[in-house]
Amino acid sequence: MTKIAAAALCALLSAACASEKGAEKSSGAASRGKHHVLKAPKEEVQWGWLDPREKPRLTIDSGDTVSIETLSHALDQIHGGVDMNEIVRLRKANPGGGPHSLTGPVFVNGAKPGDVLEIRILKIVPKDEGFNFNLPGKDFPTIGLLAKEFPEGYVKYFKFQNGKTEFKPGIELTLRPFPGTLAVGIDPNDPSPRKGGVKDDPMAPVSTLRPWKNGSNMDINEMTEGTTIFIPVFLEGGLIWTGDSHCLQGNGEVNLTALECSYKEIELQPIVHHDMKLTWPRIETPTHYIMVGFDEDLGVAMANAVRETVDFLSTQKGLTREEAYSLTSIVGDCRVSQVVDVRKGVHCMVPKSIFTK
């Protein structure tokens, strides 16, 4: 596509064109290329680690769509009838790694380090069972916000029907599925501990526990069907992973888990942008722009998210930094995404409705 044609398309779709620090998603639907399906046989799903040397399970072009199957935690070993003793055993069976089962990676042709991958979440179809648990605080005193107050642990299983489930008689829940983990390949400079305690190999596998610049375990419950996320690319092909599938979650995810589930399919459309530059992921829903911040310190995570919001408003919406800081304070809705993944998460939401032009 020529630069003139690209500019015309951007104007037609009312897209915010790329700036030095970032860009917004176009408001129109991208033309779809070929459709792919990626199933999740257990022997090809990763348990708890993002390994940049893992062979891609699928190669697609920018603009193609892919329907990805996901498994529940520990390669589908947590399901109705599994008791807390077995859940504890499984949690200890993968030292340093997360409990998450991740399908991928998907290699996107043309995606190179320094690019941005726009990933559109087109459809989510859950399977029919889910669960929530907190680990025994006597064994895991730092996992879960009130772990020491719940020493024995607890697990509850759910069956889904027509997009709903019963918590107990008189309490009905409506499902709102979203991917707890949506990642591209690791940032070689991610300070997270590496598998096996490796310290001198920037390409050593990274645990799925901590969210970071490549997305990963963000647990942001706004990332439902119809949402788009922009993630900076660190490795050739982008290398998309998804898992830790959720069917409902409150902000904070305070006891450790959401209403964890798995998906028959999550349909994604990745689009490569060579002219965008981002440091952290940015999210766009039909109603909001969302900026994120992650850090082991919740206060620092909050500051990171607010700084990202100020940067977005000043580079994308024509405000001075002072105006952007002021507007963030007036309309920015900054929420604690989760406090249980070592690195805490905050996401700041700016409503689109305030922009009249």
In this prediction, residue 23 has a pLDDT band, given cuts at 50, 70 and 90, of very low
Cα separation, 223 vs 290, whole angstroms:
10
For residue 105, is the peptide bond before it cis, meaning its omega torsion is within 30 degrees of 0?
Answer: yes
pLDDT at position 2 over 60: no
**Within 10 A of 226 (CB to CB), how many other CB atoms are there?**
14
- Note the pLDDT tens digit of each residue in 245-271: 999 999 999 999 999 999 999 999 999
Sheet with strand 35-38: strands edge to edge: 35-38, 65-68, 263-273, 116-126, 228-232, 282-284, 288-295, 344-351, 333-338
CB proximity list for 330: less than 8 A, separation 6 or greater? none
pLDDT confidence of residue 30: 60
Q: C-alpha distances in angstroms, 322 versus 239, 314, 325? A: 37, 9, 5
* 3-class secondary-structure state, position 314: helix
* 3-class secondary-structure state, position 331: helix
pLDDT confidence of residue 1: 46
Cα separation, 64 vs 292, whole angstroms:
27
For the domain made up of 21-281, give the CATH fold. Answer: Jelly Rolls (2.60.120)
pLDDT at position 12 over 60: no
- Note the pLDDT tens digit of each residue in 140-191: 999 999 999 999 999 999 999 999 999 999 999 999 999 999 999 999 999 9
pLDDT at position 276 over 70: yes
The predicted model gives 125-147 an average pLDDT of 97
- Note the pLDDT tens digit of each residue in 48-78: 999 999 999 999 999 999 999 999 999 999 9
Residue-averaged pLDDT of the chain: 93
